[in-house]
């Protein structure tokens, strides 16, 4: 017998041998009489049954005339083929048909072997007003969740944990093992890896698994702050300490992270003068705000991260040796994506799920050809670049299953028609930035020098083009 998205007892376990067939007929009787509409499709997404009321709502005089038709030709906005493909139900949703909106539920139909043999859809209401109290409650819950997120933002709570780190390969497992060990210790941690390898995700995971988990997590990208403002950003500033300073003074990131964790990203871009002050803070655990004459004791666990070779910078005098040894207590190397090929398919599917949840669109899947193409790429921007490629392909593709061509079309024009000049310039700049980052192995300071622009200009363009994650 078929199972309508649930498991009925075996016939031998029922009190009466005919009860199973009675239950089966009862389901269709309920569909036919109790719901505003009901339809069933087979594995080819073709209609095999529709109740008269649904046909009447759709303006069909004779339901037999549409049997065998694809359901998406009759209902262009239906998600039944998605349920057929994923085997997952969509229990409560809205569907628009012409100028009307219906409340619908969709579920897979499975055979005795557990495989999907069809899908069913029921129209709970042909007007959504009866569900208004439920919709209002859902809206209030959503607003409550948003408020919690805002509160968490103010409290500087982490968003990620080790459960969010996808990967089962040996390189990824070693990275996670070292991260969990770091979480149990209070030592300074140094995260080493190319841009886009997930350094902040690992830093947040370490904090979330530590005894400081309920205290603030504060992150600062050193490279994104002008040198003249960096000390005030780190250590704070007294009222009126410099031109344009806040009259009430300014708390630095160390003070905001007191009793918690401070992530100093791109630590290799820290100016030498500030390196000396940072070293003293790490040794004494006290800060002196800019323009102030008093020391403030702090309790902060520092996690530093960089995409640069700090040991080589020590040799050339660009980074203080004593600060390097202070930071390099527990180093963790984050492997580039090209060394984690066995994890790429897992990562891509996780990212596609996240993209679907954030955008509110149907989840895309990868064809075998597309998965193979992703594995074959170098990914100089690592996980961030992979996500960027998946987002672009998701937005441009009209079909559910992504192919290799969908990714090729995100990197080159898929049409022979000339593009507007502004779009041509934009694509040229994006390509130049990606090439420079690849040549510099993700180091943004070196990439800016290659491009002949200021570092601040590069960060501005990364933000404009939505490439911050590359």
**Candidate CATH numbers 3.40.1350.10, 3.30.450.20, 3.10.20.30, 3.40.50.300; the one for domain 11-132:** 3.30.450.20
Higher pLDDT among residues 241 and 351, named by residue? 351
Q: Which of 56-65, 375-384, 444-453 has the lowest mean pLDDT?
A: 56-65
Over pLDDT 70: what percentage of the chain?
Answer: 78
Q: Put the strands of the sheet holding 301-306 in their side by side order.
A: 217-221, 261-265, 301-306, 189-192, 330-333
CATH architecture of 162-335: 3-Layer(aba) Sandwich (3.40)
Q: In whole angstroms, give the CA distance from residue 146 to residue 152.
A: 10
Domain range annotation of the chain: 11-132, 162-335, 341-464
Q: Which of 208, 186, 290 is nearest to 242 (CA)?
A: 290
Q: Is the pLDDT of residue 148 over 80?
A: no
Q: Is the pLDDT of residue 16 over 70?
A: no
Tokens describing residue 15:
């009190």
The chain-wide mean pLDDT, for the chain, equals 81
Q: Is the pLDDT of residue 256 over 90?
A: yes
Q: What per-residue confidence (pLDDT) applies to 417?
A: 42
pLDDT band at 60 (very low <50, low <70, confident <90, very high): confident
Q: What per-residue confidence (pLDDT) applies to 436?
A: 86
299-313 per-position pLDDT tens digit: 999 999 999 999 999
Higher pLDDT among residues 428 and 126, named by residue? 428
Q: What per-residue confidence (pLDDT) applies to 206?
A: 96
Taking only Cα atoms into account, the Rg of the chain, rounded to an integer number of angstroms, comes to 29
Start-to-end CA distance of the chain, whole Å, equals 52
Phi, psi of 117 (to 5 degrees): -115, 5
Q: In whole angstroms, give the CA distance from residue 309 to residue 194.
A: 10
Q: In whole angstroms, give the CA distance from residue 173 to residue 171.
A: 6
Q: Which of 179-183, 245-249, 267-271 has the lowest mean pLDDT?
A: 245-249
Q: Which of 340-354, 393-407, 413-427 has the lowest mean pLDDT?
A: 413-427
Higher pLDDT among residues 91 and 199, named by residue? 199
Q: What per-residue confidence (pLDDT) applies to 21?
A: 53
Say if residues 290 and 242 touch (Cβ distance below 8 Å).
Answer: yes
425-465 per-position pLDDT tens digit: 777 888 888 888 888 888 888 888 888 888 888 888 887 77
Residue range 341-464, CATH number = 1.10.8.60
Strand partners, 120: 40, 107
Phi, psi of 382 (to 5 degrees): 55, -140
Q: What per-residue confidence (pLDDT) applies to 217?
A: 95
Q: Which residues contact 292 (CB under 8 A, 6 or more apart)?
A: 236, 237, 238, 241
398 φ/ψ sector (left φ>0, alpha ψ -120 to 50, else beta):
alpha
């Amino acid at each position: 017998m078929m199972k309508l998205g649930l498991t009925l007892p075996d016939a031998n376990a029922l009190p009466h041998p005919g009860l199973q067939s009675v239950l089966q007929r009862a389901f269709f009787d309920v569909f036919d009489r109790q719901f505003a509409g009901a339809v069933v499709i087979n594995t080819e997404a073709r209609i095999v049954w529709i109740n008269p009321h649904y046909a009447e709502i759709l303006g069909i005089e004779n339901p037999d005339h549409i049997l065998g038709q694809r359901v998406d030709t009759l209902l262009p906005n239906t998600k039944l083929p998605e349920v057929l493909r994923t085997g997952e139900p969509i229990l409560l949703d809205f569907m628009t048909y012409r100028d009307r909106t219906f409340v619908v539920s969709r579920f897979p139909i499975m055979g005795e072997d557990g495989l999907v043999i069809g899908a069913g859809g029921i129209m709970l209401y042909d007007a959504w007003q009866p569900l208004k109290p439920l919709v209002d409650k859902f809206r209030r819950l959503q607003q409550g969740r948003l408020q919690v997120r805002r509160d968490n933002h103010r409290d500087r709570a982490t968003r990620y944990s080790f459960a969010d780190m996808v990967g089962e390969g040996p390189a990824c497992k070693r990275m996670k093992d070292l991260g969990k060990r770091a979480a149990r210790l209070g030592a300074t941690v140094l995260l080493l890896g190319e841009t886009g390898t997930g350094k902040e995700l690992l830093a947040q995971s370490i904090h979330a698994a530590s005894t400081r988990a309920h205290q603030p997590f504060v992150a600062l990208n050193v490279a994104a702050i002008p040198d003249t403002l960096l000390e005030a950003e780190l250590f704070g500033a007294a009222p009126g300490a410099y031109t344009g300073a806040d009259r009430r003074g300014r708390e630095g990131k160390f003070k905001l992270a007191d009793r918690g964790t401070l992530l100093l990203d791109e630590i290799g871009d820290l100016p030498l003068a500030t390196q000396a002050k940072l070293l003293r803070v790490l040794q004494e655990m006290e800060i002196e705000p800019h323009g102030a004459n008093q020391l403030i004791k702090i309790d902060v666990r520092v996690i530093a991260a960089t995409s640069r070779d700090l040991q080589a910078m020590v040799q050339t005098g660009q980074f203080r040796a004593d600060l390097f040894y202070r930071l390099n207590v527990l180093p963790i190397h984050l492997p580039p994506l090209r060394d984690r090929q066995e994890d790429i398919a897992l990562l891509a599917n996780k990212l596609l799920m996240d993209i679907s949840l954030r955008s509110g669109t149907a989840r895309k899947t990868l064809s075998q050809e597309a998965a193979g193409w992703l594995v074959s790429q170098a990914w100089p921007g690592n996980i961030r670049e992979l996500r960027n490629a998946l987002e672009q392909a998701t937005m441009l593709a009209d079909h559910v299953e992504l192919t290799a061509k969908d990714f090729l079309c995100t990197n080159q024009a898929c049409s022979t028609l000339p593009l507007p000049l502004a779009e041509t310039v934009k694509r040229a700049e994006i390509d130049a930035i990606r090439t420079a980052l690849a040549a510099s192995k993700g180091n943004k300071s070196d990439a800016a020098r290659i491009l002949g622009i200021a570092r601040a200009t590069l960060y501005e363009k990364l933000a404009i083009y939505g490439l911050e994650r590359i």
